[in-house]
């Protein structure tokens, strides 16, 4: 269990800083004790082994206490995006069979109205500031852990799919521990490291790359609610950071915001995926930070290949993790030779290091695991030396600032808009956020472009709102009525840019 590592660190390093935030510092011993007290709170709500608990919160020490406390009860944590609204929020809470909601207090004011009557009346634990939360827990006894096998479910993380409805990826404890150990080995981390975390904790990236690395080594987490390019280097200096995890957007923004050399910091590494080659080069030459580009996804062990300290190739996603296999295949699921592009497929070499399945969606799991390989829907190739290169997505998902967005979800909401007869949502390349979102509409009467975003705001989180709007007389489709999205992935004078004017 992941809490076995936490308990061990609480014994070995009880007073060492585990989590540092702008609010304060929390040791391994204190977080462990608070997590066991939180488990007592869950016990009073009849949460037990296998029950699902939805955790919807900003980055904080309290978030981690709740996560570990849920694990101490032998329950399954469902970390939901705290920007979800409307149908997406209601669907996720129902689909995961959540028994209890654990939420930030300010979330109640901002999001409670989006729940239906039954969900709004569910048992709920509210978290205020870290100081207040820890003080409340001090009045509770420490629960005895419920022990489950490492192969038992630990978490459900939702990832969008081309079918329109998110899929709940079910991962076990061993998958988390294995990823943590692999990350430590790749980066040669130790207890002296201090890892900046500014990506949201409901994502697999900070959960598996940062938190698990900290638990494996005894390293310290420096936790922020969000990424700030303006204060990035000052924050690194102030808190003594040695590295961070990233998505490609972060590095692109840093390079754009800091055009001159910055070496007055202690950052040694950044670990993640999606760094464009020119950005990668600038981060290393301008800032002196080693970029460890990796390839992975929630379903396949967090990350499956990476550039390590000892073994790296510029532009690649590095070599394959020792406990995983990766192949590149053609449309008939046959392996292709090095240098040839095809779909990236993955399978484990050790037990329980990739997903257990999609929660309550066995047909989608079966579809993804054809011929005993997990099909990622991503395009890549190996070079002759065994380094993996990523070449984009075969699937239709849009990746904007690290968020995976299903175009079908946005299209479903657009079709509710009066006067919209048909629509399509596609990705268009953007140097900063990776993909921007373009909505193409067929309307019965003229619509103001700005009205489209206003209509969608109550229905979708901000990161899913289209930036670009185009009006056409028809949506290009195949004979089987599938949208030909590749024919719409352009910008011209007829496309309305709702952020920066006309493109």
pLDDT digits (tens, 9 = 90+) for 287-321: 999 999 999 999 999 999 999 999 999 999 999 99
pLDDT exceeds 50 at position 162: no
pTM of the predicted model over 0.75: yes
Q: Which domains does the chain have, with CATH numbers?
A: 1-14+25-148 (3.40.50.980), 175-395 (3.40.50.12780), 398-502 (3.30.300.30)
Q: List all residues 6 or more positions away from 377 whose beta carbon is below 8 Å from its beta carbon.
A: 343, 393, 394, 395, 397
Using pLDDT thresholds of 50, 70 and 90, give the confidence band for residue 333: very high
Spatial separation of the C-alpha atoms in residues 329 and 247, rounded to whole Å: 26
Would you give the end-to-end CA distance of the chain in angstroms? Answer: 52
Q: What percent of the chain has pLDDT over 70?
A: 98
Q: What is the pLDDT of residue 164?
A: 58
DSSP of 357-375, one letter per residue?
EETT-HHHHHHHTGGGSEE
Q: With bands split at pLDDT 50, 70 and 90, how would you rate the model's confidence at 481?
A: low
Distance between CA 424 and CA 415 in Å, rounded? Answer: 10
How many CA atoms lie within 13 Å of 169's alpha carbon, on the beta-carbon side?
23
Residue with tokens 């390093």: 13
379-429: pLDDT as tens digits: 999 999 999 999 877 777 788 988 888 888 898 889 889 999 999 999 999
Q: Can you tell me the mean pLDDT for 452-463?
A: 94
Q: What's the mean pLDDT when you consider all of the chain?
A: 94
Among the residue ranges 179-183, 344-348, 486-490, the one predicted with the least confidence is 486-490
| More confidently predicted of 410 and 242 | 242
DSSP assignment of 415-446 equals: TTSTTEEEEEEEEEEETTTEEEEEEEEEESS-
Residue 301 pLDDT: 93
Highest mean pLDDT among 6-20, 76-90, 263-277: 6-20
For residue range 205-241, list pLDDT tens digits in order. 999 999 999 999 999 999 999 999 999 999 999 999 9
3-state DSSP of 52-76 = EEEEECCCCHHHHHHHHHHHHCCCE
* pLDDT at residue 502 is higher than 60: no
Give the whole-angstrom CA distance, residue 216 versus residue 419: 56
- 339 against 431, higher pLDDT: 339
Distance CA 376, CA 393 (A): 9
Q: Tens of pLDDT along 47-68?
A: 999 999 999 999 999 999 999 9
Q: Is the pLDDT at 202 greater than 90, yes or no? A: yes
- Tell me the two tokens of residue 7: 């308990």
Per DSSP, 146 falls in state: P
Indicate if the pLDDT at residue 163 is higher than 60.
no
Q: Per-residue pLDDT for 156 more than 60?
A: yes
On the question of pLDDT at 247 being above 90, the answer is no
**pLDDT reported for residue 99:** 98
Report residue 501's pLDDT band, with 50, 70 and 90 as the boundaries: low
Q: DSSP letters of 149-192?
A: -TTSEEEEEEE--TTSS-EEEEEEHHHHHHHHHHHHHHHT--TT
pLDDT value, residue 288: 97
Confidence of residue 484 (pLDDT cuts 50, 70, 90): confident
pLDDT tens for each residue of 1-57: 999 999 999 999 999 999 999 999 999 999 999 999 999 999 999 999 999 999 999
- The DSSP bridge pattern shows strands 76-79 and 98-104 to be unpaired
Sign of CA dihedral 24, 30, 32, 38: negative
H or E segment and range at residue 306: strand 305-306
Residues 6+ apart with CB under 8 A from 137: 34, 37, 38, 41, 65
Which has the minimum average pLDDT: 24-38, 107-121, 156-170, 362-376? 156-170
For 182, the token pair is 């692999």
DSSP 266-292: ---EEEEE---HHHHHHHHHHH--EEE
Q: Which two tokens stand for residue 91?
A: 């669907």
The answer on pLDDT for 503 being more than 50 is no
């Amino acid at each position: 269990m992941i809490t076995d590592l936490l308990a061990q660190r609480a014994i070995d390093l009880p007073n060492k800083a585990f989590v540092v935030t702008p609010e304060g510092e929390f040791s391994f011993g204190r977080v462990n004790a608070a997590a066991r007290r939180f488990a007592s709170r869950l016990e009073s709500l009849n949460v037990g082994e296998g029950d699902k608990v939805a955790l919807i919160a900003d980055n904080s020490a309290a978030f981690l206490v709740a996560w570990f406390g849920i694990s101490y009860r032998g329950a399954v944590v469902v970390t939901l995006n705290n920007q979800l609204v409307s149908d997406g929020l209601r669907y996720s809470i129902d689909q995961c069979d959540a028994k209890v909601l654990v939420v930030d207090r300010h979330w109640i004011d901002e999001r409670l109205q989006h729940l239906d009557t039954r969900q709004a009346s569910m048992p709920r634990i509210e978290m205020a500031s870290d100081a207040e939360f820890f003080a409340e827990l001090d009045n509770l006894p420490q629960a005895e852990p419920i022990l489950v096998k490492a192969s038992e479910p630990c978490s459900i993380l939702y990832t969008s799919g081309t079918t329109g409805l998110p899929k709940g990826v079910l991962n076990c404890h061993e998958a988390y521990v294995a990823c943590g150990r692999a990350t430590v080995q790749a980066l040669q981390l130790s207890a002296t490291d201090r890892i900046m975390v500014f990506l949201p904790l409901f994502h697999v990236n900070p959960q598996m790359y940062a938190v698990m690395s900290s638990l494996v080594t005894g390293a310290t987490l420096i936790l922020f609610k969000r990424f700030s390019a303006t204060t990035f280097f000052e924050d690194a200096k102030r808190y003594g950071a040695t590295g961070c995890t990233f998505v490609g957007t972060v590095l692109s923004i840093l390079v754009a915001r800091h055009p001159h050399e910055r070496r007055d910091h202690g950052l040694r590494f950044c670990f993640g995926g999606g760094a464009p080659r020119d950005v990668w080069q600038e981060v290393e030459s301008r800032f002196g930070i080693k970029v460890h580009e990796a390839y992975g996804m929630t379903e396949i062990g967090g990350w499956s290949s990476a550039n390590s300290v000892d073994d790296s190739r510029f532009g690649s996603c590095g070599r394959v993790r020792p406990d995983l296999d990766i192949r590149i295949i053609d449309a008939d699921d046959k392996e292709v030779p090095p240098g040839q592009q095809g779909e990236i497929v993955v399978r484990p070499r050790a037990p329980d290091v990739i997903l257990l399945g999609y929660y309550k969606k066995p047909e989608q799991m079966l579809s993804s695991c054809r011929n005993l390989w997990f099909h990622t829907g991503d395009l890549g190739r190996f070079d002759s030396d065994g380094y993996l290169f990523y070449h984009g997505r075969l699937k239709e998902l849009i990746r904007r600032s690290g968020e995976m967005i299903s175009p079908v979800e946005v299209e479903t909401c657009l079709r509710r808009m009066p006067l919209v007869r048909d629509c399509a949502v596609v990705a268009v390349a953007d140097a900063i956020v990776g993909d921007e979102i373009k909505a193409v509409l067929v309307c019965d009467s003229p619509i103001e472009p700005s009205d489209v975003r206003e209509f969608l705001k109550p229905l979708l989180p901000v990161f899913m709102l289209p930036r670009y709007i185009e009006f056409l007389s028809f949506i290009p489709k195949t004979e089987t009525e599938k949208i030909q999205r590749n024919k719409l992935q352009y910008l011209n004078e007829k496309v309305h840019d709702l952020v920066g004017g006309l493109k």
